[in-house]
Structure 1
């Protein structure tokens, strides 16, 4: 692979997102940065791109490195169409590993099944010798068996904790998951490091140059920090420390923003509610298919105020998961109390929100960090879940953009696939990969192609305070590029799904190449 630090990329279709030179044919790289545009340096070697398209390095603004790597080693339940299929996959795994072994799976989704109902406890209780923990596709509920429950602190009456729910004696939602997760053997530093390396290496093949890692515990922090220090982290990472890790947060807030080569930590991640798929998202009005429930609130008002106060004092960014319209309103209520210029506090997902609260986001300069594929994954059952009269509140990208709010784009991988081209496609079509529905779901919220591209470049850079050095192809900026075999700003939408990444370049280093 080409390893020179000084070189020209020539004969390219270079989309800069730079108003002065919006389209270029040559970039010159020197010492990890962009030296010139359209003025090749004759002293440097050149790479002829033969018309390939070059974009500013693509960023996933909501990713889970460790979980992605870990779940590649679990039973894959994504896409399974019935309870029977899940049962068969679990049975096959147990026959492979034998009794007493923990069985972990990820990705089941009851909305894909004919019944669309949560499973009952008799299914997994068939397996008496193996504790089984299967995580739903949204990460907000677990399906488990009696063998696992018996290892936990739960008693036979299975009382739901505050901010959680237990259904059918086997489905544990949001805060109810904590006691089940506590029985899982602790991860080691070696395992965590392996998962992160696996995830980062996969991400760079998707053209990703940077991820915003949206929940870091002390082990993840140590692993990523060690990888960055030893130059084994091939992409950049912007870390959000999990709000429940008080000791790590205290150290961070006391010592200030942390930067170690490709790794930066200056944000805290909190949760206000759950997800729509498991009916844990906090709604202003009851669920249409569960009229006695408005969802769950996962943190008390006082606890959230305390986190916000500490972040404000230390000048740390606060990034809060909020999906339901009530959840988003609760976050905005607290953020408004600590508003100051350029604080850039983020709402992660902002999936369901009223227009009145969007105006408050504009007023308080709140940054909506959104994942386009959440819309296209959830749209088929959304009418049943919240009613036709509320579906217009879902994934309001165009309205946010029209209000002048930058929208960092991401995938929430491994919840979604993680390929940023799939996210871009969803943003400009509001269709699934089969082209459904014709015209797009709530097409008034479709983004134009350049705005969608900004979600994963300039707006993503803004979401991590790096817009003065990344997110565009501009002289003096970091040399982060994604090279494609297709111009996704002008090709047929369906072609985007089949576009190949040819090179990924991070700080001038070619970390992935098919050339």
Structure 2
């Protein structure tokens, strides 16, 4: 299963990440693009204009253009959209890749510029052509702007500010427009309610099964959280809430139930991680336009930890992608880099099989939460674009 998924690695990542300088026909490919529901559209060729945008998606029966500047023979290889990582910390990833660590706590602007280059190279090499940057600081934003001014933005960045103060500093009265030919935009704000299940930092309704005396408090009071959500929503910033434990997720649901009466329209409230949910709370997600941004690699690396932390009575709610999608949420997948190495094709296989790289456990861990290949790939492409109001900009191979 994993080898068949990894065979999809020939995407148009590097071809479409940079604008072509002439009309280009890419032909003789096994092309597939998906909408966010996993519906597949197949094609055998693409015509790119001199601005790098797709002018035509070609079926086998379509007549090819008579004259183009360049023609690429795909030799029957598989072509998919560039992948969209729905949750990274881009600058920390890049800084972690610098070979020369500086002794000072604060990187210089030139260090940040080099780090951004390293991060882009690492992600593009894995077929990731767009990212959602969670926790953008003003220094991060200035780095992206310098790269954009210099023509050095090789991928698309959807930014979510680190808290309301940074949101206002960067965005001012609202989300920024798309900048640098649709390569950069501040969408909203990241708010954090709790931490990872692995380190017992997730806020749970009941004590940890392996630490009955422990009790994790929310990092924001419910009143603080509601006020910050309101502050973002009133200026149409999109809120992305880090909520890993079932208590934190319940607080998000209760808050959205209240705020939805005031803030109408397409808000696409984002919940990041949702590592452990109470399945009894899922009806509360229905009809609120919620997006779940999740990390499928966690099910491979954290399944044993989830069983230990949650115990048998609660573990069915761990990494419950299919159940969450069934509650009417939209799924988006990401890596959580640099906390985890971005390995999207391995993560795709995990989402489909719920197995480790060694093929265990047989039949998959909590196998009822397995996704189809189409649904998993959609969550890494069109689903992640939709999560950031970026459909029509990337996530699919389509005209324009």
**Under TM normalisation by the shorter chain, which class is it?**
0.7 to 0.9
Q: What is the aligned-residue RMSD (CA, Å)?
A: 2.2
Measure the CA separation in 1 of the matches of 2:66 and 2:329: 42
Point out the more displaced range, 431-440 or 57-66: 431-440
Superposition pairs for residues 85-484 of structure 1, below 5 Å?
185-243=105-163, 246=165, 248-261=167-180, 262-339=183-260, 340-476=264-400
How far residue 247 of structure 1 moved from its aligned partner, in angstroms, is: 5.0
Measure the CA separation in 1 of the matches of 2:107 and 2:194: 26
How far residue 335 of structure 1 moved from its aligned partner, in angstroms, is: 2.3
How far residue 270 of structure 1 moved from its aligned partner, in angstroms, is: 0.8
Secondary structure of 1:260's match?
coil
Aligned equivalent of 1:33, options 53, 66, 78: 53
In the alignment, what sits opposite 1:158? Answer: none
Measure the CA separation in 2 of the matches of 1:346 and 1:278: 23
Contact persistence 2:197–2:275 (CA under 8 A): no
In the alignment, what sits opposite 2:21? Answer: 4
Measure the CA separation in 1 of the matches of 2:375 and 2:166: 39
**Runs of at least 5 residues in structure 2 that lack an aligned partner in the other structure:** 1-13
Using a 3 Å threshold, how does the CA distance of structure 1 residues 347 and 248 change in structure 2: closer, same or farther? closer
Aligned equivalent of 2:76, options 44, 47, 51: 51
Measure the CA separation in 2 of the matches of 1:219 and 1:227: 12
Secondary structure of 1:408's match?
strand
Contact persistence 1:274–1:297 (CA under 8 A): no
In the alignment, what sits opposite 2:8? Answer: none
Using a 3 Å threshold, how does the CA distance of structure 1 residues 247 and 351 change in structure 2: closer, same or farther? closer
Secondary structure of 1:461's match?
helix
Contact persistence 2:91–2:115 (CA under 8 A): yes
How far residue 256 of structure 1 moved from its aligned partner, in angstroms, is: 3.7
Contact persistence 2:141–2:170 (CA under 8 A): no
Residue 70, structure 1, aligned to residue 90, structure 2: no
Contact persistence 2:28–2:75 (CA under 8 A): yes
Count of residues paired in the alignment: 370
Secondary structure of 2:283's match?
helix
Using a 3 Å threshold, how does the CA distance of structure 1 residues 240 and 5 change in structure 2: closer, same or farther? farther
How far residue 338 of structure 1 moved from its aligned partner, in angstroms, is: 2.1
**Runs of at least 5 residues in structure 1 that lack an aligned partner in the other structure:** 76-96, 103-183, 477-515
Secondary structure of 2:284's match?
helix
Contact persistence 1:284–1:294 (CA under 8 A): no
- Structure 1 runs, 4 residues or longer, greater than 3 Å off: 1-5, 18-21
Residue 42, structure 1, aligned to residue 66, structure 2: yes
TM-score computed with the length of structure 1 as normaliser: 0.68
Secondary structure of 1:360's match?
helix
Contact persistence 1:257–1:316 (CA under 8 A): no
Measure the CA separation in 1 of the matches of 2:33 and 2:174: 36
Query: Which structure is larger by alpha-carbon Rg, 1 or 2?
Result: 1
Q: Deviations over 1:58-117 (max 9, x none)?
A: 100001111112223489xxxxxxxxxxxxxxxxxxxxx9xxx96xxxxxxxxxxxxxxx
Measure the CA separation in 2 of the matches of 1:347 and 1:41: 45
How far residue 21 of structure 1 moved from its aligned partner, in angstroms, is: 7.8
Aligned equivalent of 2:85, options 60, 64, 72: 60
